[in-house]
Amino acid sequence: MSVRVEDLKIYYTTLRGEVKAVDGVTFSIGDGEIMGLAGESGCGKSTLGNGLVFLEGRMRHAGGHVQLDGQPLPIGDSRAMEAFRLRQVSIIPQYAMSALNPTRKIGRMTADLLKSRGVDYRKVLEEFKRRVRLVGLPEDVLDRYPFELSGGMRQRATMVISTLLNPSLLIGDEVTSALDVSTQRAVGEMLMEFRDRGYVKSTVVITHDLSILAQIADSILVMYAGKLAEKAGTATIVNNPLHPYTQQLLASLPEVGLRYDEAPLLGIPGRPPSLLDPPKGCRFRERCPFAFDKCVEEPPFVELRPGHEVACWKALQEAQVPGGPMVAQEAAR
Amino acid sequence: MKKVVTYLVAFFVATTVDWGIPHLMPGNPVEIYLSRFNISSNTQYVALQKTISESFGVNVPLWQQYLDFWKGVLHWNFGISFYETAPVTHIIAQAIPYTLALLVPAILLSYFLGNRIGAMAARRKVLDNVVLPIGYVFQAAPYAWLALLLAYVFAVRLRWFPPSLGSNPGIAVGWSWSFILSALHHWVLPFLSVFLVSFGGWSIGMRNLVIYELETDYARYLRSLGASQRLVRRYAYRNAVLPQLSGLALALGVVVGGNIVTEVVFQYPGLGHLIFLAITNEDYFLLQGIFMFIIIGVLLANFVIDIAYVVIDPRTRLSMTGATA
Amino acid sequence: MSVNIEPSGHKSLATGSPAASPAGLGQPSLAEAGAGGTVAGGGVAAAFAGRRRWEFMHFALRNKKLMIGAGIEAVFVFVAIFGPLIAPYGVTKTFPPGLHPSLHHLFGTNAPFGQDVFSQALTGVRDSYMVGALGAVFAGVVGLAVGFAAGWRGGWLDELLQLLTNVVITLPQLVLMIVLSAYQTNRSTLFEGVFIGVTGWPWVARAVRAQTFTLKARDFVDLAKLSGRRASSIVVKDIAPNMASYIFLVFVLLFASSMLVAVNFDFLGLGPSNSYSIGDMMNYASQWSALQLGVWWWFIPPGAAMTLMVVALYITNVGLDEVFNPKLRQQ
Ligand SMILES: Nc1ncnc2c1ncn2[C@@H]1O[C@H](COP(=O)(O)OP(=O)(O)OP(=O)(O)O)[C@@H](O)[C@H]1O
Ligand code: SF4
Ligand SMILES: [Mg+2]
């Protein structure tokens, strides 16, 4: 297991109290695994992703541990984390299109960055250029300013820079979201390519586009309101989801394309709860068609089948009845 | 280039307004001039009136006067000052060194120091707590008040510096050590009053800009990749300086105005004080000449800033050469 | 201040070119108002919008800077309105000249006239405020109109208005005032206010233009356009409300800068012929050698009051900015 996250809590400190954006999540990612991270807007995906790399401003490490390649990752200690960033953990941020300094040429910026990390730019230059070509950019983007590139080009440049030192863990936050369909596919393939070539070991792909995950992810983790809802292999999640939230997400997708961008608008009625003062018990309760009295208690995130973890009382009960989960699954359809 | 057109239009408008000064002013300049002499006989008066009109060039149609004025501008000839009875350019030439000695160091020093200190304040809470209030007070202080305050405290009370004039009147103006020392001594207070107000503005502006830059996406990204604080700050500083630079162009007019007030308070013999004298003496040709100088100075400075901006900011450089962004 | 005066504008609003827009407007709330979802989370965004007014008061009352700045300002506004009524003496009433500050004459009396400086200052605050408000309103209106038209229409109108803006920037205000005032010997407060407004708008226009550009690019404007609404209705219903907080900040800064410009004018004797502002006081003090005679109470307290009025406006501006813009709020 190259990445192990245990009961991780990341809160935002605000004037009105703490926003519990990531509230006790536990999972692991294997070497060479691409894990998709899905869930409605605001459920804490970016917070989790950023938290593994860089806790900024108001973010607070409120509990839990992270292990990377058997070593503890000191995510709460920004100083200590510095050594890990870019080399061991890296991120393609959600704002990748505006992540480059507008007044520096891309090559120059990368050189500055590497120099401040004690890496000789000239030594990696050849490799840098090769990867730039690999993602389909001309070599001369190194001599261009970010505003001379299109959004998609900037994003790919960011992708190459973030992975230049072959990190063990890469977070790709919404790397495909703002792109057109064919570019999306290309970026997805690049992520796989990077994994296959060993540029990165484990990858977390945060996205709104389940169809991309279906194509590139080995496993999918579904989050709801700061908590984990379900995690399983990609095929299992797509064909055989156990959590009512996952089921609704999938059901609300149009048949073709499996996109759920507008899912909260079209599909699932109601809104996620406030993370400032989240309700006790199952956080999906208010919107869950199957909610019952047990649901006022918090459901544990447990492995109901091999490699398939779910946090739902109903799924848990049915798992104890032979053939149960499958029936629930049919009912939801 | 668009910029050049802007400058030409500005120059044209300013020159035309300037030309209008003696014409808009109440009273006829010739009459005013003549009233200075005690002329008893009427024939003498009429004769003199004719000569004077000719020497002022006001005896020809308006459009001709306007063209003549442009000719004069192009030849650096603004006629004769009524009051001093000397060529306007001559009088101005004497005042200009004083004004430049105040303005140039005040603008440059306040700009560079303000940017430095503002950027430092942006990242050090302790310093920020000092810089912010002081900066606000300087920035908010009316020029006249700050000048009077400095004069009162350091000249009248402490007697460290002289309260007025550009040098000791007992010392002949020239390249002697005693004159230079005396001029420096007289220069300190007026300089400080122009400097402090601008300094307050720049430091606060820079502080806010750097704080803003440190929050931008590229700064976050660099930090996420473990870049050193130094690098992040360097980038933030570089990018924050750009809007400050265009702010410099906006501020010039204000500083020039403040400079006029300051020179009046200290009776400092620069252009500002000269304006004051010209107004009190209704010496409109002198006024006209001074304004022409100020306008040309401000336009030139603006032009230099524009060029500097284009050199520093790659984005403008690109749009200049016509490529698409 | 978030006036973005950069040509290509990579920021929706920069944080401040100082002399132009004195306190530096911070990035105002627009970004957040438009994109509340990023902070509040998509679902919460709607609830957020509903609570906005309440939120505003919540943060406004807790913002120290705003409370202090607005508090000081409120005192001065009170003085401006009731100053002449609470003034202990008439402005022209005479006493022994050059009296030191005392309980009878808080700011002493001037010399050689022997008028009560405190009473004059109370009146002066009113005149300075009048000019400040007039200048701010006129500069604000012109700047908004020009900036908005340029940003919204673009094209040749934009080019033309930018040319106008740049020309006005390069003409020194004080120099123009000197020319005008020699011509117009009988000046009113209205004249001074309008003049300050008519020459002081360029930075507003630049900032508003940049702001309009970014707003125009926002989704909700596209949505409105798609639904086939007319430009004017989009401007009034969608853009204007989103800019309201920004406009408010601009106004506060204009108010401050107009008062400062007016002090310069008044000090040089270019102010309204029949008023008695703070700048006039300093003018007379300087003309009647208050400096040499050591009558410091004639010019120091009024100038200090003016400085305080302006500082309070700046602080109010920063505080408001923090209230409008969640990003700037401290934890
Ligand atoms: N800077 C912040 N201060 C306070 N709360 C924040 C901040 N950033 C995010 N949040 C809150 O944390 C929660 C999770 O935000 P996060 O950005 O992780 O969501 P997300 O799942 O990535 O959403 P999206 O799909 O829209 O990117 C949200 O409810 C949001 O309100
Ligand atoms: S625990 Fe209850 S409320 Fe929550 S998802 Fe399962 S059935 Fe629905
Ligand atoms: Mg996100």
CB contact under 8 A, B315 and A56: no
Answer for the pair C32, C327: CB distance below 8 angstroms, yes or no: yes
| Range scoring the smallest mean pLDDT among A70-74, A145-149, A200-204, B9-13 | B9-13
What is the biggest distance separating any 2 CA atoms in chain C, rounded to whole angstroms? 75
CB contact under 8 A, A102 and B315: yes
- For chain B, the average pLDDT equals 80
Question: By three-state DSSP, how is residue A262 classified?
Answer: coil
Protein residues whose CB sits closer than 6 Å to any atom of ligand 1: A 12, 14, 19, 21, 39, 41-47, 58, 94, 275; C 39-42
Answer for the pair A28, C27: CB distance below 8 angstroms, yes or no: no
| Residue C308, domain extent | 52-329
Given a cut of 60, whether residue C23 has pLDDT beyond it is no
Q: Which residues of C touch A147 (CB under 8 A)?
A: 8, 10
Residue A331 Cα to ligand 2 middle (Å) = 15
Q: Which residues of B touch A51 (CB under 8 A)?
A: none
- The sheet carrying A59-68 orders its strands as A17-29, A3-14, A59-68, A71-72
Given a cut of 80, whether residue A193 has pLDDT beyond it is yes
Cα B234 to chain centroid, rounded: 31
pLDDT of residue C293: 78
Tell me the average pLDDT across B275-296: 81
pLDDT of residue B312: 81
pLDDT of residue A262: 46
Locate the chain A residue with the closest alpha carbon to B237. A103
When comparing pLDDT for A110 and C246, which is higher?
A110
CB contact under 8 A, A264 and C59: no
- DSSP for B69-107 reads HHHHHHTT---B-TTT-SBHHHHHHHHHHHHHHHHHHHH
Specify which of C91-95, C97-101, C296-300 reaches the highest per-range mean pLDDT: C296-300
Domain contains C90: yes
Answer for the pair A147, A154: CB distance below 8 angstroms, yes or no: no
CB contact under 8 A, B144 and C267: yes
Tell me the average pLDDT across C120-142: 88
- Tell me the count of B-C CB pairs closer than 8 A: 246
Alpha-carbon span A145 to A5, nearest angstrom: 38
Q: Which residues of C touch A275 (CB under 8 A)?
A: 41
pLDDT in tens, B200-210: 989 988 988 89
Answer for the pair C175, C115: CB distance below 8 angstroms, yes or no: no
CB contact under 8 A, B226 and A81: yes
Tell me the average pLDDT across B224-245: 89
**Which residue is closest in CA terms to ligand 2's atom 6?**
A312
Chain C residues interacting with chain A (CB cutoff of 8 angstroms): 8, 10, 37, 40-44, 46-47, 59, 62, 329, 331
Residue A20 Cα to ligand 1 middle (Å) = 10
Neighbours of chain C (3+ CB pairs under 8 A): A, B
The domain tally of chain B equals 1
Name the residue facing B217 among A50, A53, A98 (closest C-beta). Answer: A98
pLDDT of residue B35: 65
Specify which of B169-178, B181-190, B245-254 reaches the highest per-range mean pLDDT: B181-190
When comparing pLDDT for B233 and A257, which is higher?
B233
When comparing pLDDT for A225 and C237, which is higher?
A225
CB contact under 8 A, C174 and B256: yes
- Reported as half-sphere exposure (CB side, CA atoms, 13 A), residue C239 has a value of 26
Alpha-carbon span B100 to B211, nearest angstrom: 34
Stretch 288-317 of chain A: residues touching chain B, C-beta under 8 Å: none
Alpha-carbon span A29 to A206, nearest angstrom: 14
Tell me the average pLDDT across C316-320: 85
CB contact under 8 A, B247 and C19: yes
Domain contains B180: yes
pLDDT in tens, C76-88: 888 888 877 777 7
Tell me the average pLDDT across A10-14: 88
pLDDT of residue C202: 87
Given a cut of 90, whether residue B113 has pLDDT beyond it is yes
Residue A45 Cα to ligand 3 middle (Å) = 6
Share of chain C above pLDDT 70, in %: 72
**What is the pLDDT confidence band of residue C210, given thresholds at 50, 70 and 90?**
confident
Q: Is the ipTM of this complex over 0.90?
A: no
pLDDT of residue C1: 35
Q: Which residues of B touch C27 (CB under 8 A)?
A: 212
Residue A5 Cα to ligand 1 middle (Å) = 20
**What is the pLDDT confidence band of residue A253, given thresholds at 50, 70 and 90?**
low
Tell me the average pLDDT across B279-291: 80
Pairing of strands A71-72, A59-68: antiparallel
- Closest-CA distance, A12 to chain C, in angstroms, reads 10
Residue A153 Cα to ligand 3 middle (Å) = 20
State the CB neighbour count (10 A cutoff) for residue B209.
33
When comparing pLDDT for B139 and B2, which is higher?
B139
Which residues, in sequence order, are bridge partners of residue A6? A65
pLDDT of residue A311: 92
Residue A45 Cα to ligand 1 middle (Å) = 8
Alpha-carbon span C313 to C302, nearest angstrom: 17
Phi, psi of B152 (to 5 degrees): -65, -50
Given a cut of 80, whether residue C36 has pLDDT beyond it is no
Mutate to test the pocket of ligand 2, among A224, A283, A285 (most ligand atoms within 8 A of CB): A285
CB contact under 8 A, A42 and C44: yes
pLDDT in tens, A88-146: 999 999 888 889 998 899 999 999 999 999 889 999 999 999 999 998 899 899 999 98
Q: Which residues contact C57 (CB under 8 A, 6 or more apart)?
A: none
| Residue B253, domain extent | 95-284
Residue A322 Cα to ligand 1 middle (Å) = 40
The domain tally of chain C equals 1
Residue with tokens 């596919």, as numbered in its chain: A185
pLDDT of residue C27: 32
CB contact under 8 A, B225 and A102: no
What CATH number is given to the structural domain containing C203? 1.10.3720.10
pLDDT of residue B65: 74
Given a cut of 70, whether residue B83 has pLDDT beyond it is no
Q: Which two tokens mark A132?
A: 């730039």
When comparing pLDDT for B323 and A302, which is higher?
A302
- For chain A, the average pLDDT equals 85
| Range scoring the smallest mean pLDDT among B31-40, B59-68, B281-290, C83-92 | B31-40
Closest ligand to residue C47's CA: 1
Residue A315 Cα to ligand 2 middle (Å) = 8
**What is the pLDDT confidence band of residue B131, given thresholds at 50, 70 and 90?**
confident
A256 touches chain C (CB under 8 A): no
Share of chain C above pLDDT 90, in %: 5
- Closest-CA distance, A209 to chain B, in angstroms, reads 23
pLDDT of residue B317: 65
pLDDT of residue C8: 29
pLDDT of residue B310: 81
Share of chain B above pLDDT 90, in %: 10
pLDDT of residue C229: 66
When comparing pLDDT for A203 and C156, which is higher?
A203
Given a cut of 60, whether residue C22 has pLDDT beyond it is no
CB contact under 8 A, C41 and A272: yes
Given a cut of 90, whether residue C162 has pLDDT beyond it is no
A16 touches chain B (CB under 8 A): no
Domain contains B153: yes
Give the H/E segment covering residue A27.
Answer: strand A17-29
pLDDT of residue B318: 58
- Closest-CA distance, C63 to chain A, in angstroms, reads 11
- Closest-CA distance, C8 to chain A, in angstroms, reads 10
State the CB neighbour count (10 A cutoff) for residue B301.
20
When comparing pLDDT for A292 and B66, which is higher?
A292
Domain contains C17: no
pLDDT of residue A148: 87
Domain contains B55: no
**Which residue is closest in CA terms to ligand 1's atom 31?**
C40
Answer for the pair C251, C136: CB distance below 8 angstroms, yes or no: yes
pLDDT of residue B304: 86
Given a cut of 80, whether residue C7 has pLDDT beyond it is no
pLDDT of residue A50: 92
- Closest-CA distance, A124 to chain C, in angstroms, reads 30
Domain contains C12: no
Tell me the average pLDDT across A312-324: 76
Q: Which residues of B touch C264 (CB under 8 A)?
A: 142-144, 257-258, 260-261
| Range scoring the smallest mean pLDDT among A39-53, A141-155, C157-171 | C157-171
Phi, psi of A219 (to 5 degrees): -140, 160
pLDDT in tens, A269-309: 777 888 888 888 899 988 888 888 889 999 999 888 888 99
Name the residue facing C183 among B24, B149, B204 (closest C-beta). Answer: B24
Given a cut of 80, whether residue B81 has pLDDT beyond it is no
CATH of the domain spanning A3-88+167-332, picked from 3.30.420.40, 3.40.50.720, 1.20.1740.10, 3.40.50.300: 3.40.50.300
Name the residue facing B218 among A81, A85, A99 (closest C-beta). Answer: A99
Q: Which two tokens mark A266?
A: 């079209």
Domain contains C93: yes
Answer for the pair C297, C289: CB distance below 8 angstroms, yes or no: no
Given a cut of 70, whether residue B283 has pLDDT beyond it is yes
B281 touches chain C (CB under 8 A): no
| Range scoring the smallest mean pLDDT among A75-79, C49-53, C87-91 | C49-53
- DSSP for C100-162 reads PP-SSSTT-B-TTT-BBHHHHHHHHHHHHHHHHHHHHHHHHHHHHHHHHHHHHH-HHHHHHHH
Ligand 2: atom nearest CA of A314 is: 7
Phi, psi of B25 (to 5 degrees): -60, 145
When comparing pLDDT for C319 and C138, which is higher?
C138
Given a cut of 60, whether residue C20 has pLDDT beyond it is no
Q: How would you class A72 by CB atoms within 10 Å of its CB: exposed for 0-12, middle for 13-18, buried for 19 or more?
A: exposed
pLDDT in tens, B165-178: 777 777 777 777 88
CB contact under 8 A, B211 and C15: yes
Q: Which two tokens mark C258?
A: 């107009």
Given a cut of 50, whether residue C283 has pLDDT beyond it is yes
| Range scoring the smallest mean pLDDT among B22-26, B270-274, C23-27 | C23-27
CB contact under 8 A, C18 and B251: yes
Given a cut of 80, whether residue A36 has pLDDT beyond it is yes
pLDDT of residue A10: 94
What CATH number is given to the structural domain containing B117? 1.10.3720.10
When comparing pLDDT for A260 and C232, which is higher?
C232
pLDDT of residue C288: 79
Domain contains B41: no
Given a cut of 80, whether residue A200 has pLDDT beyond it is yes
**What is the pLDDT confidence band of residue A230, given thresholds at 50, 70 and 90?**
very high
Alpha-carbon span A301 to A24, nearest angstrom: 10
Locate the chain C residue with the closest alpha carbon to B157. C294
DSSP state of A318: H
Residue A285 Cα to ligand 2 middle (Å) = 6
Domain contains B128: yes
Tell me the average pLDDT across B8-29: 73
Given a cut of 70, whether residue C42 has pLDDT beyond it is no
Name the residue facing B257 among C172, C291, C308 (closest C-beta). Answer: C172
What's the pTM value of the predicted model, to 2 decimals?
0.81
- Closest-CA distance, C228 to chain B, in angstroms, reads 30
